[in-house]
Amino acid sequence: MQKRYLLTPGPTQVPPEVLLRMSQPMVHHRSPEFSRLFAEVQAGLQRLFQTDQDVLILAASGTGAMEAAVFNTCSAGESVLVVNGGKFGQRWLEICRAAGLAAVEIRVEWGQAVAVETVARALEQHPEVRAVLVQASETSTTVLHPVQALARLTRHTDRLLIVDAITALGATAIPMDGWGIDILVTGSQKALMLPPGLAFVALSPKAWQRATAASLPRFYFDLRRERQAQHKHTTAYTPAVSLIAGLHEVLRLLQDEGLPQVYARHAHLARATRAAAQALGLRLLAPEHPSPAATGVWLPPEVDGGQLLNAMRTHMGVDIAGGQDQLSGKIVRISHIGYAGPFDVMTAISALEMALVAFGCDIELGRGVRAAQEVLLTGWPELKPVSGTGSAGTGR
Amino acid sequence: MQKRYLLTPGPTQVPPEVLLRMSQPMVHHRSPEFSRLFAEVQAGLQRLFQTDQDVLILAASGTGAMEAAVFNTCSAGESVLVVNGGKFGQRWLEICRAAGLAAVEIRVEWGQAVAVETVARALEQHPEVRAVLVQASETSTTVLHPVQALARLTRHTDRLLIVDAITALGATAIPMDGWGIDILVTGSQKALMLPPGLAFVALSPKAWQRATAASLPRFYFDLRRERQAQHKHTTAYTPAVSLIAGLHEVLRLLQDEGLPQVYARHAHLARATRAAAQALGLRLLAPEHPSPAATGVWLPPEVDGGQLLNAMRTHMGVDIAGGQDQLSGKIVRISHIGYAGPFDVMTAISALEMALVAFGCDIELGRGVRAAQEVLLTGWPELKPVSGTGSAGTGR
């Protein structure tokens, strides 16, 4: 018998309340009962996206919503600017190329955030660019890109800012309307604490306007048709009913905790994880602009990351993520997104310490844990004896 | 949103497989389907008890089976010897007194195991004693009493040895027939990883013989009637159907892991927990005869244990147990029984460290974790790089 610890940046852990909610008997998606549920979910998503626009729900993984964003607002041959600083920046590029767009690529070193000036300069050099595509949190490098600053570049122009917030939304505040983001995309299996299978996309009025003229072919991901259906509190095609029921519970949980507290919790766990890695003498992959979703950590060069993760999974039951593409085998990514708490950090760090020691690394057991504990303690200011009633210091 | 960590010695955590099994639709308890399930559960319990005798299943908490043990084998006015080294030894005494028995009490200091010689001497001094009652693991003090040695004193006499193994069975080997135990009692919510609600009792041939003559009044807990019913693979009164279905899954999980491995796992986690406490400079409550179910640890005298546990529960979501009766407020009991693994120890120890620091104690964060990690690592001999493929030391 082995307990499993899923500490990867998606799928993430699903709270028991949500598992229970998803286990309820199926309802029909054209019933008043489903529409009532759907309407509440729509309102909750608008609060999460901080938008007055429709947040459309798709039965798809996040990539489906990324495709929808491009195919609904672009036309063949148009120019776009893609920030490519990781595997998911690369995915924007691939989608744009599949769509026959002319992509101006800004390559960013993996582990770095894009420099706003670089984007500004590229936009000046390429007046033909009609949209900027970027990740809010680049999952592969655990970097947070400066979305708010990028929005300032596009907001009062006729360019669109298209943001993949798949590992950002729900982990950090991304006020779509407030910042002036034109398309905001996310998925279910990250901060939304659901199994994979749902994707979400919201469009600004400017993006909807573009959708009317956009000529790329689309059917399943035709957002105009979806919007029409979702205004009637159902979907154009069969929705993933149980996931939407689970989402209803997720939105209740997030509302109960309070979104500012949800974001603070993610930041706090990320700080603790970074402190642990640094105390162990491990370099952070994204020291300057770290994501609150996951923390990338360089492994000592003598360690084969694939073997390490495999050993942790097999023997400890602990799943943390490795590196992708050129970072494969060289880093680990410790997730703290979604249904995560302080003892997930303790599990990840203590497991990593033990695995590194077993792999012959010269690190001190407990040292990373201690550094994380010091950060975590700052999150419990009320964890102390009730004064004057016989606890530490009263000499009872 | 706060994750909850149940690290108490009962109820213990329930594995997801078991929760799912218990969530299946109800079946009728007089159906062939239920009888098939029941028969498999009966066979699994015999393997767990290491007995050829019937293991009877009662819809009750463990105390119900304790009462059944006494009321089915004793008659008013008879003498029994009770080992009283904690709250549950005290419970044996209370049951015997409620039954109108004359109890010879052997008081044992809380935290100590009973000395076999003391029992031997008492039995010599009290030839009228017809049964010896003892805990295998005294949950309140985290002590393991020497059941095998006590069985040697009673085995070839006409005295009964009645053993409460509620926090022992499934955590450590207690071969009922092999040791010559006459009555072995346990409950569902400890090593059996189920919710509370089931109790189990098995009687040796000598105990069944006594049951014929025993004159104490009983109805619900009349084990003769239960045995008759359970020979037909059902119960005398309505059984707790879903718990028995869950038990079917539990027995499968234990069989899959292998009972020797289950016992080794408990011993390993207990060792890690003790090492952690000692590294923190905290005294063990039961240093000499510790139970593999839970580890009692003395708190620094300036700490109010009630406040500490309340703070850990409220702010951290971590439930460890406190002391009972005279130990109330003075100790904590960290459980590692049932569905427990290495990262439960990490959670318990790291939480306790942080709470003690927050309560003003002079302990070093991470020090207990590290000591536990050192023990835990010995349990993963295969956690290492595959030789010659580019891990530590190969200079890749």
Q: What is the pLDDT of residue A388?
A: 53
Question: For residue A178, what are the CA distances in angstroms to A175, A310, B203, B257?
Answer: 5, 43, 73, 55
Q: Residue B184 forms beta bridges with which residues?
A: B163, B202
Q: A198, A170 in Cβ contact below 8 A? A: no
Q: Which of B233, B238, B210, B260 is nearest to B55 (CA)?
A: B233
CB contact under 8 Å between A393 and B2, yes or no, is no
User: What is the reported pLDDT for A396?
Assistant: 26
B316–A257 C-beta distance less than 8 A? no
Distance CA B254, CA A174 (A): 47
Residue bearing tokens 């009750």: B60
Comparing CB atoms, the residue among B346, B361, B386 nearest residue A347 is B346
Q: Among all chains, which residue has been given the structure tokens 């019913």?
A: B229
**Token output for B15:** 């594995």
CA distance B189 to B256: 20
Nearest to B197 by CA among B138, B230, B238: B238
Stretch A253-274: mean pLDDT: 98
Q: How confident is the model at residue A190 (pLDDT cuts 50, 70, 90)?
A: very high
In CATH, the number for domain B258-377 is 3.90.1150.10
Q: In what order do the strands lie in the sheet with A331-335?
A: A294-298, A331-335, A321-322
Q: Where in chain B is CATH 3.40.640.10?
A: 16-256
B293-304 confidence digits (pLDDT tens): 999 999 999 999
Q: How many CA atoms lie within 13 A of B23 on its CB side?
A: 12
Res A387: pLDDT: 74
CA dihedral A308, A310, A311, A316 (to 10 degrees): 120
What are the residue ranges of CATH 3.90.1150.10 in chain B?
258-377
The alpha carbon of residue A296 is apart from the nearest alpha carbon of chain B, in Å, by 20
Say how many CB pairs under 8 Å bridge A and B: 198
> What would the pLDDT profile of A54-75 be if each residue is shown by its tens digit?
999 999 999 999 999 999 999 9
The pLDDT profile of chain B, 396 residues, written as one tens digit per residue, is: 889 999 999 999 999 999 999 999 999 999 999 999 999 999 999 999 999 999 999 999 999 999 999 999 999 999 999 999 999 999 999 999 999 999 999 999 999 999 999 999 999 999 999 999 999 999 999 999 999 999 999 999 999 999 999 999 999 999 999 999 999 999 999 999 999 999 999 999 999 999 999 999 999 999 999 999 999 999 999 999 999 999 999 999 999 999 999 999 999 999 999 999 999 999 999 999 999 999 999 999 999 999 999 999 999 999 999 999 999 999 999 999 999 999 999 999 999 999 999 999 999 999 999 999 999 999 999 999 987 554 443 332
**Does domain A259-377 match CATH 3.90.1150.10?**
yes
Question: DSSP letters along A198-264, please?
Answer: EEEEEE-HHHHHHHHH--S--STT-HHHHHHHHHTTS-SS---HHHHHHHHHHHHHHHHH-HHHHHH
Give chain B positions within 8 Å (CB) of A315.
380, 382-383
Kind of pairing between the strands at B198-203 and B183-187: antiparallel
d(CA A324, CA A311): 18
Q: Give the pLDDT confidence score for residue B386 in this predicted structure.
A: 87
What CATH class is the domain B16-256? alpha beta
End-to-end CA distance of chain B: 44
Rounded to whole angstroms, how far apart are CA atoms B5 and A80?
A: 49
Per-residue pLDDT tens digits for A19-52: 999 999 999 999 999 999 999 999 999 999 999 9
Q: What is the distance between the alpha carbons of residues B225 and A295, in angstroms, rounded to a whole number?
A: 62
Contact between B375 and B275 (Cβ < 8 Å): yes
Residue A390 has pLDDT above 90, yes or no: no
CB atoms within 10 A of CB A374: 17
What pLDDT is recorded for position B277?
A: 98
Instruction: List chain A residues with CB under 8 Å of B374.
Output: 365
**CB contact (8 A) between residue A360 and residue B391:** yes
pLDDT digit string, tens, across residues A276-332: 999 999 999 999 999 999 999 999 999 999 999 999 999 999 999 999 999 999 999
Looking at chain A, how many residues does it have? 396
Q: Say which residues have a Cβ less than 8 Å from residue A153's Cβ, sequence separation at least 6.
A: A116, A119, A120, A123, A132, A159, A161
| Chain B residues within 8 A of A391 when measuring between CB atoms | 302-304, 307-308, 359-360
Q: What's the pLDDT at B388?
A: 53
DSSP state of B26: P
Q: Is the dihedral of CA B160, B166, B172, B176 positive or negative?
A: positive
CB atoms within 10 A of CB B92: 25
Q: Where in chain A is the domain with CATH 3.90.1150.10?
A: 259-377
Here the contacts of A91-96 (C-beta below 8 Å, separation 24 or greater) are: A91/A63, A91/A66, A92/A66, A92/A133, A92/A134, A92/A135, A92/A162, A92/A164, A95/A63, A95/A66, A95/A67, A95/A70, A96/A70, A96/A133
DSSP 8-state assignment for residue B290? B
**pLDDT of A210-228, one tens digit each?**
999 999 999 999 999 999 9
Write the secondary structure of B139-157 as one string of H (helix), E (strand) and C (coil). CCCCEECCHHHHHHHHCCC
The residue to which tokens 């890695």 are assigned: A277
Cα end-to-end span (Å), chain A = 44
What average pLDDT does this structure show over A350-372? 98
Give A-chain residues touching B15 at CB under 8 angstroms: 1
